[in-house]
């Protein structure tokens, strides 16, 4: 009968379980963090490409007999109507980039900057400028290339 009263968990068993859990957390947490960062940059790249395709499609369709462009900032992309970007225009469509991703470099027609814009020509869909847009997090970068024919590709 004395055997039944000796059941229970010892301090040593608790220490071993806590140590194993701690080791698992240290190993698994960086993997989840890296997966999240990969997903965030993938989404940001797709957002930028989607906005570029949308502006090109609207120009090709000659909606409102206008050309459409894209204005790049570090944390957002804006589709605008006509050749000149205006912050106040009610026609602007803003797409926010989800942190920790952001646009780290915009190189259009060989000029590197933190902001920039281009527009697509009506009926032909060719861009007014060619170049690259770099999307980055603290450890990952992806480059979107806009060619002279209006093709949008990713490295």
Give 105-151 pLDDT, tens digit per residue: 999 998 988 889 999 999 899 999 999 999 999 889 999 999 999 99
Question: What single DSSP character describes residue 69?
Answer: E
Cα angle at 32 between 144 and 19, to 5 degrees? Answer: 155
pLDDT in tens, 31-72: 888 888 999 999 999 999 999 999 999 999 998 889 999 999
pLDDT greater than 90 at residue 85: no
Q: Which two tokens stand for residue 99?
A: 């942190």
Neighbours of 9 (CB within 10 A): 8
CA distances for 117 relative to 65, 69, 87, 100, angstroms: 20, 7, 12, 23
Domain edges within the chain: 11-154
- What pTM, to 2 d.p., does this model score? 0.80
pLDDT greater than 80 at residue 2: no
CATH homologous superfamily of 11-154: minor pseudopilin epsh domain (3.55.40.10)
- For residues 154 and 142, the answer to whether their CB atoms sit within 8 Å is yes
- In angstroms, the CA 103 to CA 3 distance is 67
- In angstroms, the CA 84 to CA 122 distance is 14
- In angstroms, the CA 76 to CA 133 distance is 12
């Amino acid at each position: 009968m004395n055997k039944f009263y000796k059941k229970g968990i010892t301090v040593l068993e608790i220490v071993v379980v806590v140590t194993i859990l701690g080791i698992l957390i240290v190993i698994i947490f960086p993997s989840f963090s890296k997966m999240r960062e990969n997903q965030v940059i993938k989404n940001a790249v797709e957002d930028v490409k989607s906005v570029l395709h949308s502006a090109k499609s609207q120009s090709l369709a000659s909606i409102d007999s206008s050309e459409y462009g894209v204005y790049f900032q570090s944390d957002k992309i804006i589709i605008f109507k006509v050749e000149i970007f205006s912050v106040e225009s009610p026609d602007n469509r803003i797409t926010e980039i989800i942190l920790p991703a952001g646009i780290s470099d915009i190189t259009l027609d060989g000029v590197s900057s933190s902001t920039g814009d281009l527009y697509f020509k009506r009926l032909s869909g060719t861009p007014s400028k060619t170049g690259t847009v770099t999307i980055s997090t603290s450890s990952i970068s992806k480059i979107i290339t806009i060619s002279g024919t209006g093709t949008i590709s990713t490295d």
